[in-house]
Structure 1
Amino acid sequence: MFLVQDSSTAREARIQQLSVEDPTLSALLAVIHVEWTFRRAIIALGTSPNVDIRKELKRCHGLDNYKESWKVEVSSKNNRKRLPEVVKNWDGLRRSFSLRHRLVHGVSGCGHEYAQERTNWALAAAADVREFCSVHNVDLDSRLPVRRKKSIAQS
């Protein structure tokens, strides 16, 4: 659905387009986009070596786990805002994640307006994180900074 070189704004435009054609698919893709945004932001703003952060993120699924990873890598080490402070409508994002879970596991479907609302909440959350990153001179659509483990010679 998306290519690696697609910008955040291109992804979001495609998700918005789909919200008219297939609002349920749009809601799923919006949450996937939020997760992509969270992961890149945690890597870019974190302080641990990239390889360590990526290893932790492999086990990171669900909103509470992203919140914890953000706390460990971004908030506590840099005295920066916690993720629920960065995302202006945390409750709406939680509802978006809940819908994704129900759709993926076949628990329930949803109506057009219900899905569109959650799509909008998720896209707003991604925009909030991108704005926070921008304030800290990080462009999530660009190459991420690389932090390597210190070798014995560097110590």
Structure 2
Amino acid sequence: MSFTEEELAYLKSQPLARIATVGPDGQPDVVPVGFEYDGRYFYIGGGHHPERTRKLVNVRGGHEQIAFVVDDLVSTNPWSPRFLRVYGTAEVVERTGQFGAGAYLRITPTVSWSWHLDGRPVDYDDFAPRRTIHSASTQGRPDQVG
């Protein structure tokens, strides 16, 4: 498993994320999405008309690199944001999932960062996100960055 128990619990607690794909003209496109995680892949539904949603059109067009973030704000006073960010590759698959049957993006994580998932207030002298490289050879061995 490449995500920690704390990261998995955070993912399960959050219903909404944001995904960025890149269009044929190089323009990034960010959209809020619901998601599922099965322990290996993230799945994002294609929407009501998947043939027209930018995220699926961009990936089908060969722009497979994505960025995905799940975040929230525990408190504004004291300032307590937390997040889990994922870089990865996406492909369009047909499946039945949380959003019904149809086209989904299946995301394979390549690297992730998490920060302050415990919800404690931010201490700017202690900014140390956890960075993990996700691959078969490094599964479960986090690369800590300070």
TM-score range normalised by the length of the shorter chain = under 0.3
In terms of fraction of residues, the more helix-rich structure is: 1
In terms of fraction of residues, the more strand-rich structure is: 2
TM-score by length of 1: 0.23
TM-score by length of 2: 0.24
